[in-house]
Amino acid sequence: MNPGTTSAMKCACQVKPGATRAHIGYYPLFRNSGVTASLGGAEATFRDLGDKVSPADGTVGLKFAAENFPRVP
């Protein structure tokens, strides 16, 4: 959570392949909050999540798909 900031923290969360919903925890959410996920050495960063929160239930949906994890040469 919040990569690159002084409040960054690792959650050691895992999302299983093929999962359609995965609970990764509750974390403080600010307008500029972000999440970095890793997959086999590749990373995907989702930024500015505060504006993406659902007003109906307070959740933020992230899609962990292969195209979100560019390979590092």
Map 35-61 to HEC letters.
EEEEECCEEEEECCHHHHCCCCCCCCC
pLDDT given for residue 56 in this prediction: 93
pLDDT tens digits for 13-44?
888 878 888 888 777 788 888 988 888 888 88
| Band of residue 4 on the pLDDT scale cut at 50, 70, 90 | confident
| Joined tokens for residue 7 | 């409040």
Q: How far apart, in whole angstroms, are the C-alpha atoms of residue 28 and residue 43?
A: 22
Q: How far apart, in whole angstroms, are the C-alpha atoms of residue 24 and residue 37?
A: 11
Mean pLDDT of the chain: 83
Q: Does the pLDDT value for residue 73 go beyond 60?
A: no
User: Where are the domains positioned within the chain?
Assistant: 1-14+25-64
pLDDT given for residue 67 in this prediction: 81
